[in-house]
Amino acid sequence: MKLTLNIDDITDDFFSDTRLLGIIAVTKNYRFCWQLNSFLGYNFRLNRDIEVHLRKKERNYFFPVYQHNVNNTFLNHYIYHNSFDGEYLLPEFKHIDFLWLMKGDAVCDDDCNNLIRSVKTIPGVQLVTELTNEKIKNKGHLIF
């Protein structure tokens, strides 16, 4: 008997009740997370256990993931750096520097819009936009 893994089902399950923001900010990932922590009161920390590893063109690429857990909820926030050594986690969004994934609890439109407005106030942030699941071709790259 041969079992096959259905990646589409795994991807759909992972992305149920998620929101994803794309952020353009010309700064280092650790500095961006420091700014989120300092200016907006988050507690993003590098989580090496969920770092995304891709192998392309016989090379390894590592995309750091920063995590913030919201107390007394199931909601977690993840910041992915979209580029590493000339490769992109989501190549369809090469202009995006950071991806902000909200997962674990539903985030209403008002909360998402307030977050977008808040992030736009950070020095160096040029754009914050919500990325809809339909626009993302390489969703599997975000799964940890």
Q: What pLDDT does residue 40 have? A: 95
- 131-137 CB contacts, 8 Å cutoff, 24+ apart: 131/20, 131/21, 131/22, 131/93, 131/96, 131/99, 133/15, 133/20, 135/92, 136/20, 136/90, 136/92, 136/93, 137/90, 137/91, 137/92
Sign of CA dihedral 114, 125, 85, 44: negative
pLDDT at residue 78 greater than cutoff 90: yes
Gap between the Cα atoms of 77 and 86, Å rounded: 25
The domain ranges of the chain are 9-142
Confidence label for 26 from pLDDT (cuts 50, 70 and 90): confident
To the nearest whole percent, how much of the chain has pLDDT over 70? Answer: 81
Query: Who wins on pLDDT, 73 or 66?
Result: 66
Instruction: State yes or no: pLDDT of 2 exceeds 80.
Output: no
What per-residue confidence (pLDDT) applies to 142? 67
